[in-house]
């Protein structure tokens, strides 16, 4: 494949071209209640071309390898059209990756298991959930994605690399007194198959919460202090801050870019945030990004001050900052975007008991339930929570969504715990058309935020 | 070419092939400058088989891949007992949604359209960081089954979106337009963009409490996606839908009539058949507030002892595409307009919201009719817009709060959901009597 791509690259007289070819294999198993709704094992392939020429950029994706040369020539002409109309040319920073081969190696490679063993595993977890009498439906999915990628560039770089992501995830859907609630679970989220095994106790704890949740009190609307558990805090930092650390989102927003200059104070000295693709066996871990840059660790907030940003080679040039190896595409149908790898709040030392004791009236919120960011505004949900009254944890609460504004909310983080943990399922949408990236990690310890707006009844 | 259906005949009980070919050319502008051109030429297939009474599926790039049938048969060997059959021979209705001119659009054509929009915006808002995106797509969809279904359709779409971040905030004011044929720069949308942008200059946070809310067409997904989740056959079958066994009962305000019109001419969301090869229809789902119809794919229809309504769509909340299994989903929603106007709605409010979007819809318990989002839009007080919404959450449940709708506008327009892959539809402005707002 390298030779084929090399010939296509060599055939173009442009400032820069890279071609990424992917051979992808996926296994999906899905239960909906007692019904096995989907079982499929399949593969596909495709190629993506990026051309920079005379200050312009164009891309093309093809399914049919016979179309590759024509697509590359067409992209070259389109890049020149873009360049001819730009006052400020698009340029790439010097490359920061080497040629080579980067296969995924793990002692617990789930690919060794047979399809029937995988089916039995997810069926086992699904059956466990269904034994609870309040469960009216389940979603229990096995998703295995293996991508073998070859990237060849006109700078002489040739990289072969692999991405592996295996997750068992789903929903526990319960109903009591006419109220239906959903609690999420996820195991794995990386190449390590051992994470999928022996999770019965974790699932039992989540099923117990799902059992009780329909009878919980709905959250009351208002603005008040909250404690976020690690999954909620990880989602918060991903949504509220992480997307604004992706330079391509700021590239064409001069007003907002001015507010996020390196060195600006965003929070107190207890706040430290890092993005690190090199951490082993997490949803957002990888060795090489989709423009051939080596993965790395980027300190984004240090002692409350903005100290780093996530970049492609193009945005690094435009911002005059170092490339960070965060340029990634979900598959060959898409051009890479600047994406977080594993973003997390670093632990600081506060104890959960002290956080609870410091709140007279507020909520302790648990179980990340998805979020969304638009500019400096963010929203994220909690699957369940507890009312805090007089420094003590009170009754179970349901139907919780929160929103806020980046700058004031980061400044309102008043306590950071010592119990860092990472979510076991990635999932982040970005771009148009949207790329839903499963290889996106997030983590945090417990944190306390002094003021958050909670939507409720 | 011998495709997977030819290969599957005599090998499996039944087979269904879904093949999509899509050519999409798009251009993007950032801060008023042409930024990139994207040209995608993609093909994908899905094959479902029922073999020895069991269901299995697989996916690939082309229908003549020799391994497709073998892979699907292997999946079926583990699969569940099939409880439904694939579509048989039927005639698909005609839908006018292919325009030769758009099929032959070039990058230069899209650049000219975007330039015209940019220049029109600059005449009224010279200092905004304008982003413009335009794409021209040609899609060909084929569904064949061993039971005789043989559906083939081609369509075009031209989509334009533009907007600009509110100064110093990062949240954008956006407008969009889609059609199956060519169009000129939409100056009416540019004028509306200018009005909305002017309204953003002040930030305003309403009080916490219940108040009336106007939903713009662009925000219609906030109340319609929970409804589609409730009308979906699989939720009815499992009795997790709030409208289970409520056919013929009042579930929404008598002012609301909602249709799913897959055959609407000139609409990019229209289609003659669904992703299971079942002919699509023009259907009334809610008539003057009364539940009249459900959304059924082949599987959920069989479970309920009914016929598919042609709503088996390869779409989920966040993703759409060949590799998604068909789900019951609205094709092209229509909210029937009323006789009011946006101006009259605003004028009658002492305090309320004009909501043009919501952030975080998917975090809510939408399958139960609930929504809880950060509201995007404008704060209305004493009959006029006083600023953009800031730090405002909006919560409600369509089955209780949408029983009291005060009025609907005559103006209705197509609205896309920007983040969700949930399709789109056409809706007027809808004024709801009272919803919970969390502000100051």
Domain ranges across chain B: 4-196, 202-440
Whole-angstrom distance, CA of residue B31 vs CA of residue B128? 8
Residue of chain B whose alpha carbon sits nearest to that of A59: B38
Residue B317 is predicted with a pLDDT of 79
Please indicate if any CB of chain A lies within 8 Å of the CB of B391. yes
Residue of chain A whose alpha carbon sits nearest to that of B30: A252
Q: pLDDT category, B316, cuts 50, 70, 90? A: confident
- Interface size between A and B, measured as CB pairs under 8 A: 262
- This complex has an ipTM of 0.89
Whole-angstrom distance, CA of residue A372 vs CA of residue B362? 9
Cross-chain Cβ contact A381/B363 below 8 Å: yes
Over residues B94-133, the pLDDT tens digits come to: 999 999 999 999 999 999 999 999 999 999 999 999 999 9
Q: Report B:246-265 residues touching A (Cβ under 8 A).
A: none
Contacts of A169 (CB under 8 A, 6+ apart): A141, A143, A184, A185, A186, A187, A425
Over residues B24-66, the pLDDT tens digits come to: 999 999 999 999 999 999 999 999 999 999 999 999 999 999 8
Over residues A258-279, the pLDDT tens digits come to: 889 999 999 999 999 999 999 9
Residue A438 is predicted with a pLDDT of 85
Whole-angstrom distance, CA of residue B14 vs CA of residue B12? 6
Whole-angstrom distance, CA of residue A381 vs CA of residue A383? 7
Listed by start position, the domains of chain A span 2-215, 217-455
Residue A326 is predicted with a pLDDT of 97
Place of tokens 């399949």: A42
Q: Is B126 exposed, middle or buried (0-12, 13-18, 19+ CB in 10 A)?
A: exposed
Task: Flag whether pLDDT at B1 surpasses 80.
Answer: no
- Residues in chain A where the model's pLDDT stays below 70: 456-457
Closest CA to B48 of B21, B20, B82: B82
Cross-chain Cβ contact B438/A453 below 8 Å: yes
Residue of chain B whose alpha carbon sits nearest to that of A370: B363
> Judging by DSSP bridges, how do beta strands A217-218 and A392-398 pair with one another?
parallel
DSSP B296: -
Cα distances (Å, whole numbers) of residue B360 to A290, A372, A374, A428, B208: 29, 5, 10, 13, 19
Q: Using CA of residue B411, residue B416, residue B420, residue B422, what is the dihedral sign? A: positive
Residue B170 is predicted with a pLDDT of 67
Residue B297, both tokens: 């794919």
Over residues B145-199, the pLDDT tens digits come to: 999 999 999 999 999 999 999 876 767 899 988 899 999 999 999 999 999 999 9
Residue B419 is predicted with a pLDDT of 44
Cβ contact A395:A386 at 8 Å:
yes
Residue of chain A whose alpha carbon sits nearest to that of B436: A457
Residue of chain A whose alpha carbon sits nearest to that of B327: A37
- Residue A377 has its nearest CB partner, among B41, B44, B359, at B359
Which of the listed CATH numbers 3.40.50.300, 1.10.10.10, 3.30.2290.10, 3.30.2350.10 matches domain B4-196?
3.30.2290.10
Cβ contact B52:B36 at 8 Å:
no
Integer-rounded Cα radius of gyration of chain A: 23
Please indicate if any CB of chain A lies within 8 Å of the CB of B39. yes
Residue A62, both tokens: 């093809």
> Judging by DSSP bridges, how do beta strands A327-328 and A337-338 pair with one another?
antiparallel
CATH topology of domain A2-215: PmbA/TldD fold (3.30.2290)
Task: Flag whether pLDDT at B422 surpasses 60.
Answer: no
Average of per-residue pLDDT values in chain B: 93
Cα distances (Å, whole numbers) of residue B36 to A79, B107, B135: 7, 10, 12
Cα distances (Å, whole numbers) of residue B164 to A91, B194, B390: 24, 10, 17
Integer-rounded Cα radius of gyration of chain B: 23
Q: What's the gap in Å between the CA of A1 and the closest CA on chain B?
A: 18
Using a CB-CB cut-off of 8 Å, the residues of chain B touching A252 are 30-31, 35, 129, 131
Q: Kindly report the number of other CB atoms within 10 A of residue B365's CB atom.
A: 24
Please indicate if any CB of chain A lies within 8 Å of the CB of B80. yes
Using a CB-CB cut-off of 8 Å, the residues of chain B touching A370 are 360, 362-363
SS3 label, residue A342? strand
């Amino acid at each position: 494949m390298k030779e084929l791509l090399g010939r296509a690259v060599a055939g173009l007289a442009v400032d820069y071209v890279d071609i990424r070819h992917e051979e992808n294999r996926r296994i999906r198993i899905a239960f909906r209640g007692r019904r096995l709704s989907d079982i499929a094992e399949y593969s596909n392939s495709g190629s993506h071309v990026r051309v920079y020429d005379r200050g312009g950029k164009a891309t093309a994706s093809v399914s049919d390898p016979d179309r590759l040369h024509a697509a590359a020539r067409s992209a070259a002409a389109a890049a020149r059209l873009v360049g001819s109309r730009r006052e400020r040319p698009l340029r790439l920073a010097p490359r920061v990756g080497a040629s080579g081969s980067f296969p995924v190696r793990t002692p617990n490679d789930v690919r060794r298991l047979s399809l029937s063993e995988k089916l039995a595993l997810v069926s086992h977890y699904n059956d466990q959930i269904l034994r609870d009498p309040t469960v009216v439906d389940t979603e229990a999915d096995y998703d295995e994605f293996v991508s073998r990628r070859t990237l060849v560039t006109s700078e002489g770089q040739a990289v072969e690399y692999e991405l592996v992501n295996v997750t068992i995830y789903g929903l526990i859907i319960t109903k009591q007194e006419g109220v239906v609630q959903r609690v999420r679970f996820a195991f794995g989220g990386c190449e390590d198959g051992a994470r999928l095994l022996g999770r019965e106790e974790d699932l039992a704890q989540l099923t117990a919460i799902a059992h009780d949740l329909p009878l919980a009190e709905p959250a009351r609307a208002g603005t008040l202090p909250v404690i976020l558990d690690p999954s909620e805090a990880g989602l918060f930092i991903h949504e509220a801050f992480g997307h604004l650390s992706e330079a391509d989102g700021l590239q064409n927003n001069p007003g907002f870019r001015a507010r996020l200059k390196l060195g600006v104070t965003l929070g107190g000295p207890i706040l430290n945030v890092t993005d690190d693709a090199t951490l082993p066996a997490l949803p957002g871990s990888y060795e090489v990004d989709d423009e051939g840059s080596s993965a790395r660790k980027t300190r984004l907030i240090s002692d409350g001050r903005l100290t780093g940003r996530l970049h492609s080679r193009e945005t690094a040039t435009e911002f005059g900052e170092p490339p960070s190896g965060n340029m990634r595409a979900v598959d060959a149908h898409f051009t890479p975007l600047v994406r977080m790898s594993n973003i997390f709040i670093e632990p600081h030392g506060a104890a959960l008991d002290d956080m609870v004791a410091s709140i007279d009236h507020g909520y302790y919120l648990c179980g990340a339930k998805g979020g969304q960011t638009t500019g400096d505004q963010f929203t994220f949900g909690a699957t369940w929570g507890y009312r805090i009254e007089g420094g003590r944890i009170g009754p179970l609460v349901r139907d919780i969504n929160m929103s806020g504004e980046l700058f004031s909310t980061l400044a309102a983080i008043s306590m950071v715990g010592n119990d860092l943990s990472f979510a076991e399922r990635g999932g982040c949408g970005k771009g148009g058309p949207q790329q839903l990236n499963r290889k996106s990690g997030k983590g945090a310890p417990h944190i306390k935020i002094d003021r958050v707006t909670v939507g409720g009844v | 070419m011998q495709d997977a259906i030819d290969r599957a005949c005599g090998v499996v009980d039944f087979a269904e092939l879904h093949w999509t070919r899509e050519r999409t050319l798009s251009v993007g502008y950032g801060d008023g400058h042409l930024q990139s051109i994207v040209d995608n030429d993609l093909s994908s297939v899905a094959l479902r088989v029922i073999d020895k009474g069991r269901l299995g599926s697989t996916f690939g790039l082309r229908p003549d891949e020799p391994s497709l049938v073998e892979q699907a048969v292997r999946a079926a060997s583990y699969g569940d007992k099939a409880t439904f059959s694939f579509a048989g021979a039927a005639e698909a209705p005609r839908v006018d949604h292919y325009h030769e001119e758009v099929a032959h659009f070039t990058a230069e054509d899209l650049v000219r359209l975007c330039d015209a929009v940019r220049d029109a915006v600059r005449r009224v808002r010279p200092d905004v960081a304008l982003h413009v995106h335009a794409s021209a797509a040609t899609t060909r969809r084929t569904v064949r089954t061993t039971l005789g279904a043989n559906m083939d359709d081609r369509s075009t779409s031209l989509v334009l979106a533009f907007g600009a971040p509110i100064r110093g905030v990062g949240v954008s004011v956006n407008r969009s337009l889609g059609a199956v044929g060519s169009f000129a720069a939409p100056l009416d949308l540019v004028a509306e963009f200018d009005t909305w942008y002017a309204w953003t200059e002040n930030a305003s946070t309403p009080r916490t409490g219940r108040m009336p809310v106007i939903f713009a067409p662009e925000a219609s997904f906030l109340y319609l996606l929970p409804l589609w989740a409730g009308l979906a056959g699989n939720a009815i079958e499992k009795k997790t839908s709030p409208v289970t066994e409520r056919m013929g009962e009042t579930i929404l305000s008598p002012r609301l009539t909602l249709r799913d019109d897959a055959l609407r001419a000139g609409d990019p969301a229209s289609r003659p058949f669904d992703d299971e090869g079942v002919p699509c229809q023009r259907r009334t789902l809610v008539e003057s507030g009364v539940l009249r119809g459900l959304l059924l794919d082949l599987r959920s229809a069989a479970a309920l002892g009914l016929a598919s309504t042609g709503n088996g769509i390869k779409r989920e909340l966040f993703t759409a595409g060949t590799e998604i299994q068909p789900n019951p989903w609205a094709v092209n929603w229509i909210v029937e307009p009323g006789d009011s106007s946006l101006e009259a709605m605003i004028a009658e409010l002492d305090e309320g919201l004009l909501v043009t979007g919501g952030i975080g819809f998917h975090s809510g318990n939408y399958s139960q009719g609930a929504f809880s989002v950060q509201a995007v839009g404008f704060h209305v007080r004493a009959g006029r817009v006083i600023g953009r919404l800031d730090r405002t959450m909006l919560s409600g449940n369509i089955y209780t709060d949408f029983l009291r709708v005060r009025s609907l506008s005559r103006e209705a327009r197509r609205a896309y959901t920007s983040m969700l892959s949930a399709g789109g539809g056409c809706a007027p402005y809808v004024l709801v009597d009272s919803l919970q707002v969390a502000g100051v």
